[in-house]
Structures are given as structure tokens and as C-alpha cells.
Chains A and B, each alone.
Chain A
Amino acid sequence: MPSLDIATRETHAPVNELTVVAKRHPGRWLAALVVLLVAAALVRSVMQNPRFQWDVVNLYLRDFSIGKGLWLTIWLTAVSMAISVVLGVLIAVMRLSANPVLRAGAFAYVWFFRGTPLLVQLLFWYNVAALYPVISFGLPGVHLNANHLITPLTAAILGLGLNQGAYQSEIVRAGIISVDHGQGEAAAALGLTRGQTMRRIVLPQAMRVIVPPTGNETISMLKNTSLVSVLAVPDLLYSAQIIYNRTFQPIPLLLIACIWYLVVTTVLTVGQYYVERRFARGNHVLPSTPWQRMRTLLKTHTPMAKGSAR
């Protein structure tokens, strides 16, 4: 019987002479081809359409005033995020406090600043002198002129920071809640105070949950700072606007703004990746970074490595 013959040959074939043939995926190749074609068409049209005015983009990309605007945008993002993180921790802790008045206060804060548009809040801070021409903080002898104190820049910082603080407090609160209740108990049983428990035990663990959305919010903040152009604060967008109001070339200058926003976002994304790894310590085996993966790949695929494997 020939079939038996084949069967015996198959079972008796030496193991090391067998070759594994992976399944073919023609559908995947086709889908990839479609995507590549669309991408190529897009790039081609962008490159060939003269109305993009790439020469003007090139002319102003490294312009001094654009650079100053970019710096202000980054500075504003950093300062507003710093304020919002501090505020966020404070409000989250208030929200989780045993004191009902503190809880209600925190709730009201989040309710108000999350419930009104950021643009309106910015305009409000800008015009706060109309409500309080003189700021004294209720202290005798303090007599500050609101028009001098609340410059467009301070209005921008207040608006962005206080608004983001509301969102940040929810992120921090989620992080604190995510930490196992037993952690606080263990710390308490060891005699740590509530403040020590929060700072040393709970918050560091909450960071694992807090960091990813905070990175997200930072990137979001970077672009939200463009709203301050309505207060005539010379950030990246407003600096581009100043130029195109003079040259009547809005498209290339808006492209410049986009390019710089993308550059900073890219840097922030890479930063976020490494910060997340830092706070994942002790939680699971960390996957290797793309950089490490690339080095492993090069190592295993050099002819020498292949030869020695045989």
C-alpha cells in the first residue's frame, strides 16, 4: 500500500531535516499596499501643490520670533502643568478627606472649573480687573492694582493652571483609589502617620496610574496654550499670526506652528515612555525599550550570530 509507505516515511523523517513553513497572508499584503498607496498619494499632493508654499515655510521655520513664541509655549505648558499637578494632589486629597466641608469644597472646585469652557475662563481672568480693580487678599496694607498684577501672561497662567488643576485632581484621585487598601493599613500598623503614608507609600504607587493620563494632559496642554493667542500673549500660534498678518501667508505659517507643535509632542511622548517605566518599578517585568529591541535585533541577525547558532 503506497499510503502506508508515505506515512512511514513521514513519521521516520529525521527531525532536524524538517522545515517549518509559515502560513501566507495575502490579505495583509494587499491591505498594506492600499495604505502605502494612499500615503504616497498624500505625500505627492502635499509636495507638488505650490499653494503649500514650502519655500515660505523654510524661510520662517527658524525665525527668531517663532522661536521666542515656541519657547513661551513650552514655558507656559510647563508652568501651567506644574500648578495643576500641585493643585490636583491638593484637591484630590481634599476630595478623599474625612472632613465633609473639604470634600464639598473640592467637589465644587472641580464642578466649576471643569464645567465652564477654558476659553471663557481665560477671558474672565484677563478681565478680572473689572470685577476687582484692587486686590488686597483681605489683608490690611496690601493694595495691588489688578490691572498691573493681572498681565495677559498671568491671566494665561491662572486660566490654564486652575482649569487643568480640576482635571488633574480627578486623575490623582483615580490613582490614589487604585492603590490597595491594605497598603495604607500596613503603613498605619507600622506606625507611619497619615501624611507619611500618603507621601511614601500611596502616592508613589498611585503614580503608575497617574503618569500615563498626565502625559496625555501635558500634550493636550501644549496645544491648549494656543488659546492664549486671544489674550495677545505671543505664544507659538500668536507669533505665527503676527507674521502672516503682515505677509498675508497664513497657510505656510500655520504649517510652521503645526511642525513645531508636532516636534514638541514627539519629545514629550518619548519622555512619557521613560517616566512610565520609572514608576512601573517592582510591578512587572519591564519590556525592553525600542532602542534595546533594535540592538537585540541587530545582534541576532548578524551573519556571525547565525553561524554560531548552527
Chain B
Amino acid sequence: MSQLTQQEPQAESADAGPMVRCEGVRKSFGTVEVLKGIDLEVQRGEVVCMIGPSGSGKSTMLRCINHLERVDAGRVWVDGEIVGYEQQGNKLYELADKEICRRRTQVGMVFQHFNLFPHKTVLENLVEAPRLALGESKAVASERALGLLDQVGLADKRAAYPRHLSGGQQQRVAIARALCMQPKLMLFDEPTSALDPELVGDVLAVMKDLAANGMTMVVVTHEMGFARDVANWVAFFDGGQIVERGTPEQVLGDPSHDRTKAFLSAVR
């Protein structure tokens, strides 16, 4: 595995091995240990939902997958490359910023609060990163961006500023913005938690579409319905550990762990 760090990003490292692999991931903020040794594997084309109470570490785990958080111990691989580090012998060397950025271009992320760039129009939000990070021409990036906006049902909003869109529309733009980088993996951090209930459906529909088209997705969510319908499997987080995992039917329908039962009965 250690040799794979030298590979080309798009090289069909593929087929073989999982898209995401986490091994004994630990992370502390100050004296609080928020991840206590997480092991996780997401296969290509899988949709995984991470559920659990606030502060259970699920969002932190997600952020470790694109190195927004640095792990204290353990390793995370995305498509065969160790995230944020290069292993030589038994040492992990943190990568140069440039290399970290290059790898992040392959992983899309959607945030709870959308985090669209408010000073740029919808279309500018989409083409900014492809132009700066991938060095694409405006024409090429715009063409793909317009296609994606059409896909999320917002082609007519290309010239609008984010401020003038509803939360649901903003989140769909954010998804399109992430997809515009043509990522091989998408991370969702509570994408519907900040939305009015009636706007949640539109965003979930876009995500279901994406899943149906074979995108590998890791989703932190409180939408049990989405987890049941779309997820290949579900991980229940509590106190920095995955206490239960399995198919949605198992975890959500017939949980075996007391903590899971308590959480699910409170959520329903």
C-alpha cells in the first residue's frame, strides 16, 4: 500500500481495493478524544450513511477523509493513497500543501451550511475551482457547470448570487459545485440539517440521483428515511466509536446495541 502514493490520480488503481479505508483512526481536540480508533471500508459505488448523536465523532471522521482534520493516529486511504501523508518505512511524512490540494480535488465535499462563495454568482461558484485548481479554461469549465446546474434543476439561476436563493437551492448549487471538480468520492456533512423541512426533499432527490449513477458517497445525516432508501450500509457512531454497523434494515430496523435503540427511538 505504501508504494501507491506515487501513483497517478486517475490511474485505474481502481477496481482493486476499496474507495475509502480507515484503520485505527484517532483524533483529539485538546484533551477530548473525539475519535477512538475507527475502522471503516467503503467500496466503490457504495453509499454509506454515518448516523449518531451530536459530538459522536461522525463529522470529524468525515473531515479526516479529505484532511480538513489531521488524524493523530491511524491511517486513511482514498483510492489507495494515504490521505495527507506519505509513508516511507514506518514513518508518515505530512505532504506538501500542493499535494494535499491535488488530492482534495478528487474528493467533493458538501457542508451543512452550504458555504457558497457569496461574492460570486452561481456559475462563478461552480467554475472557480476547476479553473484555479485544475487549470481548466473558462469555456470548458462553464460548459460542464451549466450541465450540472441543469441536472440539479437550477439552470435558470446561473447568474444569481447565493443570497437570492433558498437554502435548498443553495445546497443544490453546493452539490453541483463539488461535482464540477469531477470527484471520485463525495462527502456530505449533514447536508439537510440547516434546511426548512419542505426543502429537504429536493436536496435528497439530487443525492439519490447521484447514488443511482454510481457515485461513491459518505453521508453524515439525521435523515433516517434517506439512509433506509439509499445507503448500502449504515454506521452508528457514539462516543468516538462505531458501535454498530450493517445494512439499514439491520441497524435502523432491528438494532442490537442499546445505545442505537435509544438514539433511534428518540429520533423517530
Q: Which residues of A contact B (CB under 8 A)?
A: 180, 182-183, 185-194, 196, 200-201, 204-205, 281-284
**Structural contact, A281 and B119, CB atoms closer than 8 A:** yes
CB <8 Å contact, B178 and A190: yes
Q: Per a CB cutoff under 8 Å, which of B101, B111, B121, B162 touches A192?
A: B101
- Residue among A183, A186, A194 facing the most chain B CB atoms (10 A cut-off): A186
The residue in B128, B134, B181 that gathers the most chain A C-beta atoms within 10 A of its C-beta is B128
Q: Is B226 engaged at the interface, CB distance under 8 Å to the other chain?
A: no
Q: Is B132 an interface residue (CB 8 A)?
A: yes
Q: Does B68 lie within 8 Å of A192, measured CB to CB? A: no
Q: A281 to B132, Cβ gap below 8 A? A: no
9 nearest A-B pairs in the assembled complex, by CB-CB distance? A191-B105, A282-B161, A186-B115, A190-B129, A189-B109, A182-B115, A191-B133, A191-B104, A191-B101
> Do A186 and B101 touch (CB < 8 A)?
no
Residue of B with least CB distance to A191: B105
Report the Cα distance A68→B52, complex, angstroms.
73
Contact A180 B68 (CB under 8 A): no
Q: Is the CB of B161 within 8 A of A182?
A: no
B102 x A191 contact (CB < 8 A): yes
11 additional A-B residue pairs with CB within 8 Å, beyond A191-B181, A281-B161: A182-B115, A186-B115, A188-B104, A189-B108, A189-B109, A190-B181, A191-B129, A191-B134, A192-B101, A204-B119, A282-B121
Within 8 A of A (CB), among B101-147: 101-105, 107-109, 111, 113, 115-121, 128-129, 132-134
A contact patch SS? helix
Chain B residues at the A interface, C-beta cutoff of 8 Å? 66, 68, 97-98, 101-105, 107-109, 111, 113, 115-121, 128-129, 132-134, 161-163, 174, 177-178, 181
Rounded to whole Å, the gap between the CB of B57 and the closest CB of chain A is: 18
* B98 shortest CB reach to chain A, Å: 7
Nearest CB of B to A206, in Å: 10
- Find A200's partner among B107, B128, B161, B177 (CB 8 Å cutoff): B128
Query: Chain B's nearest CB lies how many Å from the CB of A183?
Result: 6
Chain A residues with Cβ below 8 Å from B66 are 189
A93 to chain B, nearest CB (A): 15
User: Which residues of chain B come closer than 8 Å to A190, judged between CB atoms?
Assistant: 104-105, 128-129, 133, 177-178, 181
- Nearest B residue to A199 via CB reads B132
Question: Do A188 and B117 touch (CB < 8 A)?
Answer: no
B118 and A205 form a contact (CB under 8 A): yes
B171 to chain A, nearest CB (A): 12
What would 27 A/B residue contacts be, using CB atoms closer than 8 Å? A182-B111, A182-B113, A182-B115, A186-B111, A186-B117, A188-B104, A189-B66, A189-B109, A190-B105, A190-B177, A191-B104, A191-B105, A191-B129, A191-B134, A192-B129, A192-B132, A194-B97, A196-B132, A196-B133, A201-B117, A201-B128, A205-B118, A281-B161, A282-B118, A282-B161, A283-B119, A284-B163
Within the complex, the shortest CB–CB distance from A130 to chain B, in Å, comes to 46
Q: How far is the CA of A281 from the CA of B117 in the complex (A)?
A: 11
Whole-angstrom distance between the Cβ of B68 and the nearest chain A Cβ? 6
Are B115 and A282 closer than 8 Å at their CB atoms?
no
Chain A's closest residue to B67 (CB) is A188
Within 8 Å by CB of B98, from A183, A186, A193, lies A193
